[in-house]
Structure 1
């Protein structure tokens, strides 16, 4: 899932260059040449995809246009989103199974028997304030559709779409397939640029999507460390293994690569942890703070 849009980065390079400036040769030309040489070596040896978790969700409300805009401005390689479905069939970008944590749904629709995303029409979802919970500056930020997300990232950065694991859904892989096919040229162009992938916690959903869209890289999310038997089975159809960073070590990374798959870890927010995880040789880091890796 490595993006061809821009070179991938390493946190350590953000430290190496300022240190080099202090010790650089006296002439500006020599200094620039030495900085370029060191930066190039570091970047080529320790490069990762920077994956903005629900957009740049450390600085803007998750899964909103504001978070995606920030991720693009921060030069993230991918924006990670969550795919759910409204009551009337619109695919929406929202993480939680219910709307309570990040919207004013209980105030706007008091007394509803359920606050699941799937119990509200698209028109109802669009009335909700999905930004005030994060900060008053984002008051009025709206829930957006998956189609809206694609319009925002198309030609600017990559998309990593997660099929929601909320258990009451059926048919989300087919719905996502239809959504992607409905946008002329998007899949072909995004794949050519290395800017599209899908992931899921659910094996059945991941396999179903892979059957429908065999060209699109598919990853399996896992909060636990996958066993050897699971890794071997996954290597028969999956392109990525995407575990929690806390269960990831160099042996797991090496084995995933040996089996021909990539490995993206989540959710890494502390700079020291970013450095340690990068040193393991992972392919991508999913983070709420992509600017910590891109320095943008």
Structure 2
């Protein structure tokens, strides 16, 4: 049997399984998710629509907003002069031209640069080289985005997505949790009292009309905070107990902490949920988490067959670089040609 035939059979089987699940039952984590006002199945635009635009930049987030992702997801770091900016990596060589602009400091971390220095960097040209099939002249010269500007984007459209924010390398940035929470509180994204689930509000992606505007930011799950560092998750609970939080994990952390159940126990100790890597998406793991009252959002899931398989395995949501594909898979949303969305955001 040829590899092509095997691939076709695999896709058909996964599709049949996914359709069966969608028609005949909802995941065990649905009630757990909806009790927090978190959409089920959650579609978090990982660093924006970063499969089609440079990650954590204005066009990536505007695209995610325009197509209707549930959350704009991103990594918060802090500059030397105290500005909260969106950037994933510990060093900037992969996703900027720092080696040309600051050759002697190319591998330095963000906290060693002022915001003005970072604004000299180009965060778009690398993407055009790495992904020529999606390259655009408008990506050249893209600048760092601040957390304030990301909030502005989330508030700028007909869709009202939530914010899914990671404290990146949190131990390097003492006090960053408070700074993030204070800013979100000032902007009205975090309340000191619980937000009540609104009657008639649909928090299930499986039940939602794909053409209807996203309203995640109108509910209690409008902000989710996340970190790989359990101490940062503990601080999040202490400072903002009403805000959902996620303990991010991978195989290395699982081995270090003593197994899957140990990760669940750590999450529970902080009233947190889990964000495992996709390789940890086995159904028995998800069931164990659900049995303990913990929802699971897996990263980073970009292919339709992966999305369907994880639905079968019992995921409650995914981080994805291709939220457009996830919307088609999980909601049956009919997407416009991607060029139409670029026209809408003027890129």
Distance in 2, Cα, partners of 1:274 & 1:177: 32
Distance in 2, Cα, partners of 1:50 & 1:113: 34
Question: Given the alignment of the two structures, is residue 181 of structure 1 paired with residue 185 of structure 2, yes or no?
Answer: yes
Q: Which range moved further: 235-244 or 280-289?
A: 235-244
Equivalent in the alignment of 2:230: 203
Question: Given the alignment of the two structures, is residue 245 of structure 1 paired with residue 278 of structure 2, yes or no?
Answer: yes
Matches within 5 A, 1:17-166: 42=23, 45=26, 47-112=40-105, 115-135=108-128, 137=136, 138-154=139-155, 156-165=160-169
Decide whether aligned partners of structure 1 residues 43 and 143 sit closer, same or farther in structure 2, where only a CA change above 3 A counts: farther
Decide whether aligned partners of structure 1 residues 275 and 126 sit closer, same or farther in structure 2, where only a CA change above 3 A counts: same
- C-alpha contact (below 8 Å) 1:81/1:94 kept by paired residues: yes
Aligned length: 261
Unaligned residue ranges in structure 1 (runs of 5+): 1-11, 17-37
Distance in 1, Cα, partners of 2:71 & 2:83: 23
What SS does structure 2 have at the residue aligned with 1:262?
A: coil
- C-alpha contact (below 8 Å) 1:100/1:115 kept by paired residues: no
Distance in 2, Cα, partners of 1:234 & 1:152: 30
- C-alpha contact (below 8 Å) 1:103/1:131 kept by paired residues: yes
Give 1:177 shift.
1.8
Give 1:239 shift.
2.7
> TM-score when scaled to structure 1?
0.81
- C-alpha contact (below 8 Å) 2:260/2:285 kept by paired residues: no
Equivalent in the alignment of 1:286: 319
Q: Report the aligned-residue RMSD.
A: 2.5
What SS does structure 2 have at the residue aligned with 1:98?
A: coil
Equivalent in the alignment of 2:4: none
Give 1:282 shift.
1.2
Give 1:193 shift.
4.9
Distance in 2, Cα, partners of 1:90 & 1:267: 27
Give 1:57 shift.
0.6
Distance in 1, Cα, partners of 2:299 & 2:53: 19
- C-alpha contact (below 8 Å) 1:97/1:166 kept by paired residues: no
